[in-house]
Amino acid sequence: MRVLRILLEKEFRQVFRNPAILRMIFMMPAVQLLIMPLAADYEVKNVKICIVDYDHSTYSQKLTNKIVASNYFQMVDYTDSYAKALERVENDEADLVLQIPASFERQLVKEDESTLFLALNAINGVKANLGGAYLRSIIGDFNREVRLEWVQLPRFSPVPLIEISSVNWFNPLMNYRFFMVPGILVILVTMVGAFLSALNIVKEKEIGTIEQINVTPLRKYQFILGKLIPFWVLGQIILTIGLIISWLFYGIVPVGSIATIYIFAAVYLLAVLGLGLLVSTFANTQQQAMLLSFFMMMIFILLGGLYTSIDSMPKWAQIFTKFNPVAYFIEVMRMVVLKGSTLYDIRSHLGIVFVFGVVLNSFAVWNYRKRS
């Protein structure tokens, strides 16, 4: 026990006397949490539209006004040449083109039917999809108005009508930041935990101080514990800073209990640090350790469900996410912060991550060799 205490004292000194690490601990949460949610805004707004009007009729005017009056679209051009509109799309000045063909109004009135053409810049799928859906719903509205104008009221509707109403639970204002911030917090804790622990042992290897440790009577588990505990504490500190920032700047107060978050984080950090330690037992230079942990983190984070939902991934990727601790913490964080899930709701997540922690750490201890 005394040995461990002395070792811990050494590790903590090493951390607190390294300005780079300290800067990382305090700067990273601030920078990431303040800038990333601002940048990571998937909410589709200000879709830029270009209207090509070959008809110049009352109806085409009305439709144009209706589109401009909606909050979704920002009209960049109103022309009568499709080629010009397409050029706007090519220059990224417009996202979609609405083409109103000549004799749009006449056909609608005389032949009961008329067609509009939409062309979407589909390189960005989300924007194209949602922009197209918005525009179609505006056209649908417009269609209803036209019908009302021509079909006399009151007229009994012979068609059964299903009224669909929708509610948004847990985030009624559809604030995208509520979705991103808890996820980013997880990334933060993960990155700091994994990188710092991975680099730590390797640095001792590279500088040669590991030799000194190898010749002491220190046991393997003591050495690993001595490396684990400081970073475990640092991880919790970063989580706290992150929670405070998200409360101060985004007004996000967890609906569930904060204790649940800390309990899960305590177990989760065990797994992440174990991963970092494992990397460090494999790598010989800091460059290798860095690259290796970066490579793994990238895969874990991208497949962790931060940006895209896990449900829509193909089967093989979904199976992979079962072995991805980051995915579990992101899900738990969102559940606790936004939905108020309790420890009981997340019990299976907790159990699985605990198993990861035990497996990774035992593997790291086993793989750490005192002989060079």
Partner 1 sequence: MKQFLYFIRKEFFHLWRDKRTMLILFGMPLMQILIFGFALTNEVKNTRIGVLDNSKDEASLAIINELEASRYFDIEENIRSNADLEKAFQSGKIKMAVVFPNNFQEELLHANKAPIQLIGDATDPNVANTLINYASAIILDYQGNMKDFQKYPYTINAEVRMLYNPQMKGSYNFVPGVMAMVLMLVCAMMTSISIVREKELGTMEVILVSPIVPIRVVIAKMVPYFLLSTINIASILLLSVFVLEVPIQGNLWLLVGECLLFTVTVLALGLLISSMAGSQQTAMLISLMGLFLPTVMLSGFMFPVENMPIPLQVISNIVPAKWFYYIVKNVMIKGLGFGYIWKETLVLVGMTAFFMIVSIRKFKTRLE
Q: Considering beta carbons, is residue 5 or 295 the nearer one to partner 1?
A: 295
Judge contact between 130 and 44, C-beta under 8 A: yes
Q: How far is the CB of 189 from partner 1 (least distance, A)?
A: 16
What burial letters (b/e) apply to 209-229, b meaning 16+ CB within 10 Å? ebeeeeeeebeeebbbbbbbb
Q: Which residues are registered as beta bridge partners of 78?
A: 51
Q: Considering beta carbons, is residue 139 or 218 the nearer one to partner 1?
A: 139
- 170 closest CA partner among 340, 306, 338: 338
Helix (H) / strand (E) containing 99: strand 96-100
Cα 248–Cα 242–Cα 273 angle in degrees, nearest 5:
175
Q: Considering beta carbons, is residue 10 or 136 the nearer one to partner 1?
A: 136
Q: How far is the CB of 83 from partner 1 (least distance, A)?
A: 13
Helix (H) / strand (E) containing 198: helix 176-207
Q: How far is the CB of 33 from partner 1 (least distance, A)?
A: 12
Judge contact between 276 and 197, C-beta under 8 A: yes
Q: Considering beta carbons, is residue 222 or 257 the nearer one to partner 1?
A: 257
Residue 133 neighbours by CB under 8 Å, 6+ apart: none
Q: Considering beta carbons, is residue 1 or 164 the nearer one to partner 1?
A: 164
Q: How far is the CB of 221 from partner 1 (least distance, A)?
A: 26
Q: How far is the CB of 130 from partner 1 (least distance, A)?
A: 7
Q: How far is the CB of 65 from partner 1 (least distance, A)?
A: 16
Q: Considering beta carbons, is residue 229 or 313 the nearer one to partner 1?
A: 313
